[in-house]
Amino acid sequence: MANPDLIRLDATTMVDMLKAGDITPHDAIDAMEQRVHETDKSVNALPITCFDRARAEADRLMKQQPEHRGVLQGLPVAIKDLSNVEGVRSTQGSPIYADYIPDTSDFVVTTIEASGGIVAAKSNTPEFGAGANTFNEVFGATRNPWNTALSAAGSSGGSAVALATGMAWLAHGSDLGGSLRNPASFNGIVGMRPSPGRVASGPSSNPFDTLAVDGPMARCVKDVALFLDAMAVSDPRIPISLEAPSRPFLDAAKEALPPKRVAFSPDLGITPVDPVVADQCRDAAEQLANAGIEVIEAHPDFTGAHEAFQVLRAHGFASSLNELYQHNRDQLKPEVVWNIERGLALSAGEIAQAERMRGTLFDRATDFMKDVDLLITPATIVPPYPVEERYVRACNGVEFDTYIDWLAIAYAITLTSLPALSLPAGLTPDGLPVGLQLVGKPRGEAMLLSHAAMVENVLGRLDIPRNPSA
C-alpha cells in the first residue's frame, strides 16, 4: 500500500532515503500514482502517465548497486509534454500529434534517465509551448491549485502544478520567454532557467539556439539544484553544450551564501507591473536589506528588448514550425499562426538588427552584473488571472499589443543569457503566490543557487503540497 507521507518530503530527502535503502523506487512510484489519482482530476496537470513503464525502469535500476544508480537514485519525475519520451504518448499540446508515440526520447530525457530519474508522467503544456497559459485542444486547461478558477501560467504550467500539489518531487520544464519562471511564480514553487548549453536540448533543427532552454523545477532551491545536477551533463551532440561543473550544484545550494550586493528593480524600466505584485517584491527586497544585505534600486538598460525579442521569437517559430504551418495550418491555434506568419514576413535587415540589439543587451547586462551579486525583480507582472483568458491583455492601465508583451520582465532576461530563477516572494492579500526573479552572473548557476537558498531562508517557503481549492 502506498505511503502518502512520502509526497510531503523534499526530493533531496527522498534521494537520501533511496540511497540508504529505506525506501525503493517502487515506493515512490506508488505514492506518486496514488497522489495523481486523488488530485489531478481537479487541476489537469499530468494528463499522460506511464507508471507501468516507470516500474519496469525501477526493476532495471534496482539491479544496480546504489553508487551506480545516478544522482536521482530512481526518483520518479514528470517530463513536460514538449519533450519526447520513448514509447509514451508525446503530443506537444497539439492535435497534430495527439496520438503520437515516439520511438526515441529527447536528449534531456535520456540525460535524466541516465542520472537515475524515472519518467512517470508527462505534464500539460500549451500548444508547442506558445503562450503563458497552459491550455490546449488535446487535454484542455491546467488549473491553479491555489484557486482552480485561475491560470497556472505556462508554458510549464503542468509541471508547476504537479509540484505544488505534491504529485511530483521534481519536474522538467523549458523556458523561452519565461515558461519556467512564470508558472513557478503563479504556483508558489521554484523554477530555474539555466545558461544556454548547461542542459542538453534536442534534437533540434536549430542546435545553436540560445533562447530556448530546458531546466529544473521543484518545491525548493536545494531540490532544483539536485535536479540540475541530474540534467547538466556535457553532451557532444549539442554544439553549445557546457562542461559539467566539478562540484555539484547541490553543494552550492546547501551553503546558502548571502549575496553582498543586490540590485532591485520593480519593472526593469520596460513594463507595467500590478501594484500588488510590485509591493510584494519590494517587501521581499526590504526583508533582504533587514538581513544585512546591501540592496540598491537599479537595473541594466533594456532599451530595445521588446523589438529584439519579438523578432527573434518570430524567426524561431517560422524556422521550427513552417512545415507544419504549410500542411496543418487549420490545426494550429491562432497565436501560433500569428507568430509563424510574423516570422515569415521578417526581412533580413530586421533579423540582423535584432541580433545586434541582443548583443548590446548582453554587453549592458554583463557589465551591470560586475557590480552586484544578484538582480532581483518580479518573476511575472500580475497575480494569477482567470483561466478562461488566453493571455494578459492589460496591466496597470497599459494595453498590450500581442499575446507575449506581458512577459517582458522575463524575456528581457532571456535575451542576456544570464541564469535566472523564480522563487516564492509571498502571498497577495487574496492568498495567491507571487514570485521573485533572481538573476545571476554569466554562467553563474552555482552561486545563483547558493544565494537563492539564502533568500529562500529569509523569505520562507510556502506550505505545499496543497489540496486544490475552488
Any catalytic annotation for residue 179? yes
Assess contact for 196 and 417: CB atoms under 8 A: yes
**Phi then psi dihedrals of residue 347, to 5 deg:** -95, 160
Assess contact for 157 and 142: CB atoms under 8 A: yes
DSSP one-letter string for 205-224: S-TT--S-EEEEEESSHHHH
Which residues have C-beta within 8 Å of that of residue 265, sequence separation ≥ 6?
A: 297, 298, 299, 375, 376, 377
Residue 243: burial class (beta carbons within 10 Å; 0-12, 13-18, 19+): exposed
Assess contact for 192 and 163: CB atoms under 8 A: no
Q: How far is CA 157 from CA 44, 80, 132, 143, 427, in A?
A: 10, 9, 8, 8, 19
Assess contact for 83 and 106: CB atoms under 8 A: yes
Catalytic residue among 155, 156, 201, 450: 155
* Residue 367, SS3 per DSSP: helix
Assess contact for 258 and 291: CB atoms under 8 A: yes
58's grid cell: 525501477
Q: Which residue has the cell 507501468?
A: 52
Length of the chain: 470
Any catalytic annotation for residue 469? no
Q: What is the DSSP letter of 120?
A: E
Q: How many CA atoms lie within 13 A of 77 on its CB side?
A: 38
Q: What is the DSSP letter of 8?
A: G
Assess contact for 143 and 99: CB atoms under 8 A: no
Any catalytic annotation for residue 80? yes
Signed CA dihedral, 92, 95, 328, 406: sign only: negative
Q: How far is CA 221 from CA 176, 357, 409, in A?
A: 21, 33, 21
* Residue 272, SS3 per DSSP: coil
Which residues have C-beta within 8 Å of that of residue 94, sequence separation ≥ 6?
A: 127, 128, 136, 137, 138, 331, 332
Assess contact for 192 and 386: CB atoms under 8 A: no
28's grid cell: 515512490
Can you tell me the distance from the alpha carbon of 376 to that of 284, in angstroms, rounded to the nearest whole number?
Answer: 10
Catalytic residue among 179, 201, 241, 265: 179
Catalytic residue among 80, 122, 222, 333: 80
Residue 20: burial class (beta carbons within 10 Å; 0-12, 13-18, 19+): exposed
Known catalytic residues are: 80, 155, 179
